[in-house]
Amino acid sequence: MALKTLKSRSKKDLKWPKIIIAILSTIGIVDTGSITLKNWGLFTSLSCPGTQNGCEAVLNSPWGTLFENNDFNIPLSLAGFITYLSILVITIILSVNLISPKETLNKFLWWLIFIISSASSTFSFLLLNIMFFKIQAYCFFCILSAILSFSIFIISIIGAKFESREPMIFRGFIVAISVLLGGLIWSNNVDPSNAIDIPIPTENISPVITTSSSPQKIKFAKFLRENNIVMYSAYWCPHCHDQKQLFGKEAVKELTVIECANDGKDNQFELCQTKGISGFPSWEINGEIYSGTRDLNDLAKMTSYQGNSNF
């Protein structure tokens, strides 16, 4: 009798894995959706817990964009949004009891969740390595997405109740290897350090800016230039490079940047000495000098910028 009860329980469809997966995928939708909307200028604010400017450095890096041109861009977060949305839709279909747990379609949908979460977990692992070792910055939203993907992957194994471990391990391994290889190829292609068409500079100039600028950042940079707000920089200064990365390559062209290193190209060393510039980067705003890398929203407040500050 006890054995019969145990068998009936093992065949019974578990509800709690579907509930948890639905919750986790919803959090993932909010997480990646917020990043995508902010990237498109449709979200007003996105405060990133942790290291200052870490999220901007990661999300505006070459790895943060799948496609871009002068008018439109597809951020990597959009792929995450579609992934979580797909998982949520599949989970809802499984939860409304339209399909019997014994039907082939039910098993197929669980396999689909397992495959998608296996792929997203592998890709998230790759992105974390890029974030910490390539970009060398910390982004709370990216780490949260990785945790969500891995959690859904583990719970999908429990909820699916695969009859045999061998197909699960084999298919999961094939998916993970395929995603990892594809991800590594993509990562190397967008890595600025691997670019072959960028000439090695023979003069003392700042490193190449690799991030892209949103329309809001370009307008803000133009405002700073038109209001005689100046950035004092040195080509060898990593914090100056970080500041420029926050603006992006298009917006930096609109800024008034003064080179202060006495051996830098087109430097204005004497002007910097006259202004009393002792740290880099430094901003001259209404005759006052402010040193240190500044978050763009803070800089907008300091300069009384009235435009769209959804950077």
pLDDT for residue 9 is more than 50: no
Letter for the amino acid at 118? S
At 6, is the pLDDT very low, low, confident or very high (cuts 50, 70, 90)? Answer: very low
Helix (H) or strand (E) holding 275: helix 269-275
From the list 223, 227, 225, 226, the residue with the least C-alpha distance to 215 is 223
State the pairing for strand pair 230-233/256-259: parallel
CATH number of 262's domain? 3.40.30.10
pTM of the model: 0.67
Is residue 209 within 8 Å of 248, Cβ to Cβ? yes
Q: Do 93 and 234 have their domain in common?
A: no
Angstrom CA distances, 247 to 57, 180, 209, 231, 244, stand at 10, 31, 9, 12, 5
Q: Give me the domain span that covers residue 226.
A: 215-302
Residue 307 lies in a domain: no
pLDDT for residue 195 is more than 60: no
Q: Do 109 and 63 have their domain in common?
A: yes
Query: What's the rounded Cα separation, in Å, for the pair 242 and 283?
Result: 14
pLDDT for residue 186 is more than 70: yes
CATH number of 48's domain? 1.20.1440.130
SS3 291: strand
Longest Cα separation, the chain: 93
Mean pLDDT of 98-122: 87
From the list 44, 24, 20, the residue with the least C-alpha distance to 34 is 44
Q: Do 129 and 278 have their domain in common?
A: no
How many CB atoms lie under 10 A from the CB of residue 144? 15
pLDDT for residue 258 is more than 90: yes
Residue 250 lies in a domain: yes
Is residue 240 within 8 Å of 261, Cβ to Cβ? no
- CA-based torsion, 34, 37, 39, 44: positive or negative: negative
Query: What's the rounded Cα separation, in Å, for the pair 241 and 233?
Result: 9
Q: Considering its fold, how many domains does the chain have in total?
A: 2
At 43, is the pLDDT very low, low, confident or very high (cuts 50, 70, 90)? Answer: low
pLDDT for residue 203 is more than 60: yes
- Least confidently predicted of 116-125, 200-209, 210-219, 255-264: 200-209
Residue 308 lies in a domain: no
pLDDT for residue 292 is more than 80: yes
Q: Do 21 and 166 have their domain in common?
A: yes
Q: Do 53 and 82 have their domain in common?
A: yes
Mean pLDDT of 184-189: 89
Q: Do 25 and 171 have their domain in common?
A: yes
pLDDT for residue 45 is more than 80: no
Distance from chain centroid for Cα 249: 18
User: Of 164, 194, 224, which residue constitutes the final position of a domain?
Assistant: 194
Residue 1 lies in a domain: no
pLDDT for residue 211 is more than 70: yes
Mean pLDDT of 294-300: 90
Q: Do 148 and 258 have their domain in common?
A: no
pLDDT of residue 70: 54
Angstrom CA distances, 273 to 119, 236, 241, 257, stand at 55, 17, 21, 15
At 2, is the pLDDT very low, low, confident or very high (cuts 50, 70, 90)? Answer: very low
Query: What's the rounded Cα separation, in Å, for the pair 33 and 14?
Result: 29
pLDDT of residue 201: 52
Tokens of 86: 């797909």
Query: What's the rounded Cα separation, in Å, for the pair 208 and 235?
Result: 11
Over the chain, what is the mean pLDDT? 85
Query: What's the rounded Cα separation, in Å, for the pair 112 and 165?
Result: 16
Residue range 49-77, pLDDT digits in tens: 665 567 777 877 778 888 766 566 788 99
Q: Do 175 and 244 have their domain in common?
A: no
User: Of 160, 194, 228, which residue constitutes the final position of a domain?
Assistant: 194
Q: Do 185 and 254 have their domain in common?
A: no
Q: Do 94 and 234 have their domain in common?
A: no
Spatial strand order in the sheet of 230-233: 256-259, 230-233, 282-285, 288-291
pLDDT of residue 101: 64
Share of the chain above pLDDT 70, in %: 85
At 23, is the pLDDT very low, low, confident or very high (cuts 50, 70, 90)? Answer: very high
Q: Do 96 and 227 have their domain in common?
A: no
pLDDT of residue 7: 42
Helix (H) or strand (E) holding 259: strand 256-259
Mean pLDDT of 109-116: 95
Residue 104 lies in a domain: yes
At 134, is the pLDDT very low, low, confident or very high (cuts 50, 70, 90)? Answer: confident
Angle 16-39/140-160 helices, nearest 10 degrees?
Answer: 150
Query: What's the rounded Cα separation, in Å, for the pair 197 and 189?
Result: 12
Residue 310 lies in a domain: no
At 112, is the pLDDT very low, low, confident or very high (cuts 50, 70, 90)? Answer: very high
Residue 294 lies in a domain: yes
Residue 223 lies in a domain: yes
Mean pLDDT of 4-24: 70
Is residue 157 within 8 Å of 114, Cβ to Cβ? yes
pLDDT for residue 85 is more than 70: yes
Q: Do 149 and 81 have their domain in common?
A: yes
Mean pLDDT of 242-246: 89
State the pairing for strand pair 282-285/288-291: antiparallel
